[in-house]
A and B are shown apart, each in its own frame.
Chain A
Amino acid sequence: MTDGLPLTDLAFNILVALTDEELHGYALIKRLREQEGRELLRTGTVYAALARLGDQGWVVDSEGPADDEDPRRRYYRITAAGLAAARAEAARLADVLLEARRKRLLAEPARG
């Protein structure tokens, strides 16, 4: 389980994106390109990350929703192990953020 941690930034973001839904490659890239600094993310990069995640057993292929217009499309789904890995990474990042806030690198979130 500790193999493969800490996750690369891209891998973590892919897992986060897949947390609540299955996505196919094009949609995933579009989603990721919305993030800051990732506007020009390329196919090769994303699919390489997907391949590694697949090797780890954190992402698997999926049939996709039944109402998909293109039956040939390949969907990607996160696994339970993948969720656990994403959670662990999120927790780790939260710890780092806590420390950053303590050192006044980042403002406290607004209460309420």
Chain B
Amino acid sequence: MAERTLRALLTVLLMAWPPRLRRTHGRAALATALRLISDARARGRAAGLAESAAEAVALLRSGLRLRREDLSAAARAWTTGLAGDARFALRSLRRSPGFGAASVGALALGIGANAAVFSLVEAVLMRPPPYERPDELVVVWSSLPGSEERIPVAAPDAAVLALESRALAEVAFTVRGVDGAVEVGDGDGARHVRLAAVTDDFFRVLGATPRLGRTFDAADGPSGTAEDGAAAPSAVVLSDGAWHSVFTADPGVVGRRIRVNGLPATVVGVMPPDFTLALAPDAGVVTDVDVWVPVRVPLTSFHRDDGRLLDQDSDNTGVVIARLASGATLGTARAEAERIAAGLRTEVPAYAEAGLGFDVRPLRPDATAHARPVLLALLAGVALVLLVTCLNVATLLMARAAARGPELAIRGSLGADRRRLARQLLVESTLLAGLGLAGAVLLAVAAVRGLALAAPTELTPANPLTLDFRATAGAAVLALGSVFLFGLAPAFAPILSGSSRLPRAVATRGASTRRLGRRGLVGAQVALSAVLLLCCGLFLRTVTALDDVHPGFRPDGALSFRVSLRAPDRYRSPAYRAELMDRIRAELSDLPGVRAVGLVGVLPLEGDRWTQPYGLPGQSASEWSANRADFRVVTSGAFEALGTRVLEGRGFEAREDLHEDERVVVVDEKLAARLAPGGSALGATIGIPLDGSAVQARVVGVVEHVRYDRLDADGREAVYVPYRQEASRDVAFVVRTMGDPATLAPLVRSAVRRVDAGVPVFDVITLRDYVRAAVAPRRFAFDLLVLFAVLALVCVAVGLYGVVAFDVARQTRDIGLRMAVGATRARVVRGVLASGLRVGAVGLAAGVVLGGLVARALEGMWYGVGSADPVVWGGVLVVVTAVTLIACWLPALRASRLDPTAALRSE
């Protein structure tokens, strides 16, 4: 190889050497190597080649080894340095416990609270339900023009949909959950369960797999039934809850013979614990199902109740669950459903008059729509808390950096270079971040448990709530980002560290920039806290307004419970049912302390609905559909028991509970006002649907209006018919007592048992608790928001205190000067307070603007209060000002206690 090429090659290989050593020894090594090679060449060409190769390899290898040694030496030095930094960081944190506690606390709160709330939101709104490809699933409701209500679909209509729809590949139907009785055959008698009859493809459409056994197949449905199909045992599928509570989690439960509503049945499967069909709660369709039974007659054979204009209180209505065909979209499904509905309207005159249609909605979003506003509001609130805590930590770090200016300057003069300083700050920030994160995880775990307990049922997920790690990670990134950003800043921006190495002019300019920065951060915290406070105030007004709403009945002092007469062979005749209810009523009246007892078909605020059209005098049947009222069955004593005032006339009499001489109804004041504006509605007749035909009934009483649907909306007019007329199987009793109604609970069970031991008694609850549960979501949101607002305000107080105290310490000389030339202590205090208040005022102004926008955006949640309510705004002003004053109080006091001469002498 030519000398020049060899030299070039060896030079290249020298690149492996660390630069420093290459500089010192490179040339000499090259020269020596070339000499050795030429020596070898003298002995022979082969020797020369071998020596060249060997030298080249040796150069490379030694160079790499040198580099490796250099690296491990550096790493060793770094680690020892790191250990020293860690010890220093720990010491300095211990020396300023206030700072440490405040910043770690703020981090833990911000991250932990966010993790917990987000876990809840994720579980309720975002976690996919346990179905196959849930995005393809839709739910179909019946709809009426001009209303957003979800109305259950009649079974025959579901059959039509299944038959004619192309966009919906599979259509299943579930009849509304009803109360039923299951006898397990162990001598314990009938146990109450929630039953739902479903088409045999129900589980298949959802794509849900059972935990034990199987779900239904075609043989369980109508096509599989033999001639005596109705008598053969039906297959049933159990929910996990029922399997545990009724069958004590017996692993051999599959194949067991039981009786359901008096009929023989066989258990064929058990569903997993997380399986549920979640639907919007206001549709009045019970989804908390214990036992599923298959529908064994074709849907088309169900009674549509033609002529009974739109009755939803029958067992023939339910929910259609369907899967979109491949290639079909929600839009095409909706359009097609409308076409099918139009076809139905030509067939069924009642539908045409009412304008009934179909409403196709995506399953999951529809089921969670009720929870979305509250949960998103909570998420926004806790996000604000996170922001406030981040700003707080930033403020604290900034102040600390400024306070450590002299220390850092000394270290700088002792030769610490920027990299070492950065490493020190990195270690400190990591320590802070680590402690904060640890605290956050602890807090989050506890908070999640608390949320799971405290959240109302509408806002809890189907499965147990666990901490979602994505949430923790997200919040942590933001919070810890601020820690590192502001913690490391002094190393990279000396202007932020107040190092006195800078020329005086720059240093003072830096000082005022820093001061502005700190005040800006605190001001931002004030603004965000004001927003939280505002929402708190609005929620408070909403909740108190809801509490004050007169719902049309008196919740205090009454107990309610439900019964269900489901066994078809035992409770077949309406007359018998009416008699049974009457005997129950009599037994209850005999209980000690009872003032009134009545039967109510549907409790207020239940969300269950029985809405029908009615006719004003002189209207033809076709004009009825314009009037819709809530129909309720009641017995005598119902109004007294509920505490609903009878304004005119009377309620039903005891005799009318069992005998119907004449068709009579009681109406509420709203309807009475329509019936006879300005006059009395007593004696007037209205038309009501009954058993498929239109009948006339005489008004014998007018009662006050009851809010059946929701507390915060007035609701519809109501028509009360005697129980005997409908003889519904599922009813509620209300018992009004003189003492504490809760004590009556065991007594009512035994009272009913005395009449008929086979009648299940359930949902025993005082009316007051029942109403409270209706307000629960808003109250829950309020409670959490109060917590958030308090947290934010604490951060504000700490931050403002820190900033003001720091400034006072910095301005000791100036204050001393002012006092020396005559300023009184009071003036000094006023000055400090004023400077603090200025920060608060600016923050409040920003908060007002932001808060106004937020309140407007959440318009739908407020009740009884406008988003610009002056009382609430005034309250926010007062609270923020108070917190500001309290935070500045201590520093102001300290400033006023300064000894002027000492102050003047200080630096």
A61–B26 CA distance with the chains assembled, in angstroms:
13
Do residues B36 and A50 form an inter-chain contact, with CB atoms below 8 A? no
A71–B58 CA distance with the chains assembled, in angstroms:
27
Name B18's closest neighbour in chain A (CB-CB).
A51
Also in contact, A44 and B35, with CB within 8 A (given A51-B24, A51-B25, A51-B66) = no
A56 at the interface (CB under 8 A from B): no
Chain A residues with Cβ below 8 Å from B33 are 42-44
Q: How far is the CB of B666 from chain A (nearest CB, A)?
A: 104
Do residues A42 and B55 form an inter-chain contact, with CB atoms below 8 A? yes
Q: Which of B24, B29, B66, B69 contacts A43 (CB 8 A)?
A: B29
A44–B67 CA distance with the chains assembled, in angstroms:
13
Chain B residues with Cβ below 8 Å from A74 are 25, 27-28
Interface of B is mostly: helix
Give the interface centre of A24, A44, A61, A72 by most chain B CB atoms within 10 Å: A44
Do residues B21 and A44 form an inter-chain contact, with CB atoms below 8 A? no
B523 at the interface (CB under 8 A from A): no
A61–B66 CA distance with the chains assembled, in angstroms:
19
Do residues A48 and B66 form an inter-chain contact, with CB atoms below 8 A? yes
Also in contact, A26 and B25, with CB within 8 A (given A43-B55, A45-B62) = no
Q: Which of B24, B27, B61 contacts A44 (CB 8 A)?
A: B61
Q: CB within 8 Å of A: which of B2-30?
A: 21, 24-25, 27-29
Do residues B36 and A44 form an inter-chain contact, with CB atoms below 8 A? no
Interface string of A20-62 (1 = CB under 8 A from B): 0000111001000000000010111111101110100000010
Do residues A25 and B24 form an inter-chain contact, with CB atoms below 8 A? no
Q: Which of A29, A48, A61, A73 contacts B62 (CB 8 A)?
A: A48
B620 at the interface (CB under 8 A from A): no
Do residues A25 and B62 form an inter-chain contact, with CB atoms below 8 A? no
B140 at the interface (CB under 8 A from A): no
A14–B647 CA distance with the chains assembled, in angstroms:
118
Q: How far is the CB of B51 from chain A (nearest CB, A)?
A: 9
Chain A residues with Cβ below 8 Å from B31 are 25-26, 72-73
Q: How far is the CB of A82 from chain B (nearest CB, A)?
A: 16
B65 at the interface (CB under 8 A from A): yes
Also in contact, A25 and B54, with CB within 8 A (given A44-B59, A51-B21, A51-B66) = no
Name A74's closest neighbour in chain B (CB-CB).
B28
B346 at the interface (CB under 8 A from A): no
Do residues B62 and A47 form an inter-chain contact, with CB atoms below 8 A? yes
Interface of A is mostly: helix
Name B10's closest neighbour in chain A (CB-CB).
A43
B60 at the interface (CB under 8 A from A): yes
Name A42's closest neighbour in chain B (CB-CB).
B58
Chain A residues with Cβ below 8 Å from B63 are 44, 48
A46–B32 CA distance with the chains assembled, in angstroms:
10
Do residues B25 and A44 form an inter-chain contact, with CB atoms below 8 A? no
Chain A residues with Cβ below 8 Å from B54 are 40, 42
A46–B25 CA distance with the chains assembled, in angstroms:
11
Q: How far is the CB of A20 from chain B (nearest CB, A)?
A: 21
A89–B63 CA distance with the chains assembled, in angstroms:
26
Do residues A26 and B58 form an inter-chain contact, with CB atoms below 8 A? no
Do residues B32 and A43 form an inter-chain contact, with CB atoms below 8 A? yes
Q: How far is the CB of B29 from chain A (nearest CB, A)?
A: 4
Number of interface residues of B (CB under 8 A): 23
Interface string of B60-80 (1 = CB under 8 A from A): 111101100100000000000
A24–B29 CA distance with the chains assembled, in angstroms:
10
Name A72's closest neighbour in chain B (CB-CB).
B31
Chain A residues with Cβ below 8 Å from B28 are 24-25, 47, 73-74
Chain A residues with Cβ below 8 Å from B58 are 42-45
Chain A residues with Cβ below 8 Å from B65 are 48
A55–B359 CA distance with the chains assembled, in angstroms:
84
A61–B23 CA distance with the chains assembled, in angstroms:
13
Name A75's closest neighbour in chain B (CB-CB).
B28
Chain B residues with Cβ below 8 Å from A47 are 25, 28-29, 32, 62
Chain B residues with Cβ below 8 Å from A25 are 28-29, 31-32
Give the interface centre of B54, B60, B62, B69 by most chain A CB atoms within 10 Å: B62
Do residues A29 and B21 form an inter-chain contact, with CB atoms below 8 A? no
Chain A residues with Cβ below 8 Å from B59 are 42-44
A3–B27 CA distance with the chains assembled, in angstroms:
28
Do residues A43 and B36 form an inter-chain contact, with CB atoms below 8 A? yes
A107–B477 CA distance with the chains assembled, in angstroms:
72
A61–B27 CA distance with the chains assembled, in angstroms:
13
Q: How far is the CB of B15 from chain A (nearest CB, A)?
A: 13
Chain A residues with Cβ below 8 Å from B57 are 42
Q: Which of B32, B60, B69 contacts A29 (CB 8 A)?
A: B32
Name A40's closest neighbour in chain B (CB-CB).
B54
Do residues B25 and A50 form an inter-chain contact, with CB atoms below 8 A? yes
Q: How far is the CB of A59 from chain B (nearest CB, A)?
A: 11
A48–B58 CA distance with the chains assembled, in angstroms:
10
Give the interface centre of B25, B35, B57, B61 by most chain A CB atoms within 10 Å: B25
Q: How far is the CB of B839 from chain A (nearest CB, A)?
A: 57
Give the interface centre of A40, A46, A51 by most chain B CB atoms within 10 Å: A51
Name B61's closest neighbour in chain A (CB-CB).
A44
A52–B17 CA distance with the chains assembled, in angstroms:
13
Interface string of B683-727 (1 = CB under 8 A from A): 000000000000000000000000000000000000000000000
A40–B39 CA distance with the chains assembled, in angstroms:
13
Also in contact, A29 and B36, with CB within 8 A (given A43-B59, A44-B59, A44-B60) = yes
Q: How far is the CB of B30 from chain A (nearest CB, A)?
A: 8
A43–B69 CA distance with the chains assembled, in angstroms:
19
Q: CB within 8 Å of B: which of A47-99?
A: 47-48, 50-52, 54, 61, 72-74
Name A33's closest neighbour in chain B (CB-CB).
B36
Do residues A26 and B35 form an inter-chain contact, with CB atoms below 8 A? yes
Chain B residues with Cβ below 8 Å from A26 are 31-32, 35-36
Chain B residues with Cβ below 8 Å from A43 are 29, 32-33, 36, 55, 58-59
Chain A residues with Cβ below 8 Å from B25 are 47, 50-51, 54, 74
Name B37's closest neighbour in chain A (CB-CB).
A43
Q: How far is the CB of B80 from chain A (nearest CB, A)?
A: 14
Q: How far is the CB of B316 from chain A (nearest CB, A)?
A: 94
Q: Which of B24, B27, B35, B62 contacts A54 (CB 8 A)?
A: B24
Interface string of B787-807 (1 = CB under 8 A from A): 000000000000000000000
A42–B58 CA distance with the chains assembled, in angstroms:
6
Give the interface centre of A25, A46, A52 by most chain B CB atoms within 10 Å: A25
Chain B residues with Cβ below 8 Å from A40 are 54
Give the interface centre of A45, A47, A48 by most chain B CB atoms within 10 Å: A47
Chain A residues with Cβ below 8 Å from B66 are 48, 51-52
Chain B residues with Cβ below 8 Å from A72 are 31
Chain A residues with Cβ below 8 Å from B21 are 48, 51
Q: How far is the CB of B35 from chain A (nearest CB, A)?
A: 5
Name A51's closest neighbour in chain B (CB-CB).
B21
Chain B residues with Cβ below 8 Å from A45 are 58, 62
Instruction: For the complex of A and B, list the 4 residue pairs with the smallest distance between their C-beta atoms, beginning with the closest.
Output: A42-B58, A44-B62, A44-B58, A44-B59
Which residues from chain A sit less than 8 Å from chain B, CB to CB? 24-26, 29, 40, 42-48, 50-52, 54, 61, 72-74
If A24-B28, A47-B62, A74-B28 are given as contacts, then 9 extra A-B residue pairs at C-beta distance below 8 Å, sorted by A number, are A25-B29, A43-B29, A43-B32, A43-B33, A44-B33, A44-B55, A47-B29, A47-B32, A73-B31
Q: List 23 A-B contacts (CB under 8 A).
A: A25-B29, A29-B32, A42-B57, A43-B32, A43-B33, A43-B59, A44-B33, A44-B55, A44-B58, A46-B32, A47-B32, A47-B62, A48-B63, A48-B65, A50-B25, A51-B25, A52-B69, A54-B24, A54-B25, A72-B31, A73-B28, A74-B25, A74-B28
